[in-house]
Amino acid sequence: MRIGKIYRKGRFGLSIEIFPPKTPDGGKVLIGTLERLSVYQPAFISCTYGAGGSTQNRTVEWCLHVQQQLNLTATTHLTCVGATRDELQQWLALAQQSGIRNVMALRGDPPEGQKTFKPVDGGLRHANELVTLIRNVFPEMGIGVAGYPETHPETPDARVDLENLKRKVDAGADAVYTQLFYENANFLDFRERYEQAGIRVPLVPGIMPITEFARIKRITSMCGAVFPDDLASRLEAVQDDKPAQFEIGVEHAIRQCRELIGQGVPGIHFYVLNRSKACERILNALGLDSFSDHG
């Protein structure tokens, strides 16, 4: 199903994000993860795309696994990093020929060693340009884009960040998927400003369950997500006890998701880091009925 049709008629869209593993063992783990999460019938599973297309073949392979082995919808990521306009079109043609009908269109992070993003000669500078390219050349593709409830780290302020997001939507995006966050109040404030700005496509919150405090601290420091002081204190108190960290993180995610569903979000996008246990716990706690009408 294309992204543009997922959230119609009040359907709830559960989606899950994975990344191409680097090793055969990682591949085995991911296959097991996908098999366990497939029972929840997500609206789609998205697969990330390395800088400069460094994982592009594996991204296609995993998308095909999702569609052919699990009979689920796959969404490929695509970034502007290290690619010319022609190379991006070639990649999109490959995705389309492979039966992939959804793209998560992102600018992408600067390559390692670069502090700021610089397009290659003949490349694209902003995600809205990538959305325009996809919509013009592959008009039937479903397109998702990223939103930042606590603003993008490179953006000077929330107003400019929202203007940038509106450009992506106006260029043809079908839905917005947010960066991870741990303070629901920040998402709800962002949603209010989003609606006031006249953005009408579905806004889907992104949730990354905390399974290991040190790892999440690294991730939040890179993306600028706010970490609640009380949650940090509880996790620091058990920093030598990984099972306890897992339990605290999962319970926090369950509370987040319950509140968000109560606030009428159109879906939830889970960043699962190629592991299923935390996501399974959360979905079971929420009740399968919450996800029964997204099909």
Query: Mean pLDDT in the chain?
Result: 91
Rounded distance between C-alpha atoms, residue 134 and residue 18, angstroms: 22
* Single-letter amino acid code for the residue at 190: F
Distances (CA, A) of 144 to 14, 24, 202, 250: 14, 30, 10, 26
Q: 97 lies in which domain range? A: 3-291
In degrees, rounded to 5, the angle at the alpha carbon of residue 135 between the alpha carbons of residues 10 and 64 is 75
Distances (CA, A) of 193 to 84, 148, 260: 34, 12, 17
Asked if 134 and 141 count as a contact pair (C-beta separation under 8 A), the reply is yes
Is residue 149's pLDDT more than 90?
A: yes
* Single-letter amino acid code for the residue at 106: L
Is residue 178's pLDDT more than 80?
A: yes
State the DSSP H helix or E strand holding residue 142, giving kind and residue range, or none if neither: strand 142-147
pTM recorded for the entire structure: 0.94
140 is catalytic: no
Rounded distance between C-alpha atoms, residue 205 and residue 180, angstroms: 8
Q: What pLDDT was estimated at residue 287? A: 87
pLDDT tens sequence across 36-78 = 999 999 999 999 986 555 567 789 999 999 999 999 999 999 9
pLDDT tens sequence across 234-291 = 999 999 999 999 999 999 999 999 999 999 999 999 999 999 999 999 999 998 554 5
Task: Please give the torsion angle defined by the CA atoms of residues 26, 29, 35 and 37, in that order, rounded to the nearest 10 degrees.
Answer: -100
Report how far Cα 185 is from the mean position of its chain's Cα atoms.
20
* Max Cα–Cα distance, the chain, nearest Å: 53
State the DSSP H helix or E strand holding residue 250, giving kind and residue range, or none if neither: helix 242-262
Average pLDDT estimate for 202-216: 95
Provide the number of structural domains found in the chain.
Answer: 1
pLDDT tens sequence across 8-25 = 878 899 999 999 998 999
Residue 76 sits in a domain whose CATH number is: 3.20.20.220
